[in-house]
């Protein structure tokens, strides 16, 4: 659900009823935080840093809400602010985004057998290698799409035309497919 914190008369309220401002931000963190952390982890290659920056994003959301500024669509706002904070951090530290060694998937399976582990490791190596072939824009588009953002949200976040998002996504998928099936 794309809850929006609305104008001054409804501070701290969402469509689902009255809640405190803190509760509203906590709900947004619960809904959008895991995806944002995964996105930032893949972008930065550092889980601790991703967690810290995600918390900064939701602190900024809280501050925006306290100022009674309208956040129409929370998920794109959260990803935009998170991306910008991460880029700022990378610029200050002189590092690159999207390190090749970053993990694409979440937690490993709890009880896979040796063959499944080997197959999964091979597949992950293929995907990592394929991701290295992507341009930064292709990589960002596919990462955002993997987190469930819609084409329009990605276009707005990246400052692109909708057709460019489709083009970048198509190129990325084709490059990954060629690499995996090579």
DSSP string, 106-138: SSPPSS--HHHHHHHHHHHHHHHHHHHTS-HHH
Quickly name the fold that domain 1-103 has: Rna Polymerase Sigma Factor; Chain: A (1.10.1740)
pLDDT at position 71 is: 83
Q: What is the pLDDT of residues 45-58, one digit of tens each?
A: 888 999 999 999 99
d(CA 138, CA 166): 10
Integer Cα distance of 146 and 153 in angstroms: 13
104-182: CATH topology is Arc Repressor Mutant, subunit A (1.10.10)
Question: How far, in Å, CA of 112 to CA of 105, rounded?
Answer: 15
- DSSP annotation of 95: P
Q: Is 18 helix (H, G, I), strand (E, B) or coil?
A: strand
Map residue 48 onto helix, strand or coil: helix
CA 8 to chain centre: 29
pLDDT digits (tens, 9 = 90+) for 65-111: 888 888 888 999 999 999 999 989 988 888 776 665 434 444 444 56
Domain ranges of the chain: 1-103, 104-182
More confident residue, 151 or 116: 151
Higher-pLDDT residue of 131, 87: 87
Instruction: Name which of 46, 35, 180 is nearest 102 in CA terms.
Output: 46
Whole-model pTM: value is 0.64
């Amino acid at each position: 659900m794309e809850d929006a914190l609305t104008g001054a008369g409804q501070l701290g309220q969402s469509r689902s009823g009255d809640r405190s401002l803190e509760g509203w931000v906590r709900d947004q963190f619960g809904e959008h935080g895991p995806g944002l952390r995964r996105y930032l982890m893949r972008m930065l290659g550092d889980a601790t840093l991703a967690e810290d920056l995600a918390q900064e994003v939701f602190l900024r959301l809280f501050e925006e809400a306290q100022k009674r500024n309208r956040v129409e669509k929370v998920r794109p706002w959260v990803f935009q602010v998170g991306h910008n904070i991460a880029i700022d951090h990378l610029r200050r530290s002189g590092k690159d985004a999207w390190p090749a060694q970053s993990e694409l998937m979440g937690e490993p399976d709890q009880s896979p057998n040796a063959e499944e582990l080997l197959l999964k490791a091979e597949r992950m190596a293929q995907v990592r290698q394929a991701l290295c072939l992507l341009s930064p824009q292709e990589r960002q588009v596919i990462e955002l799409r993997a987190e469930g953002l819609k084409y329009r949200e990605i276009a707005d976040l990246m400052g692109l035309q909708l057709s460019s998002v489709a083009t970048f996504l198509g190129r990325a998928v084709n490059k990954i497919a060629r690499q995996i099936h090579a």
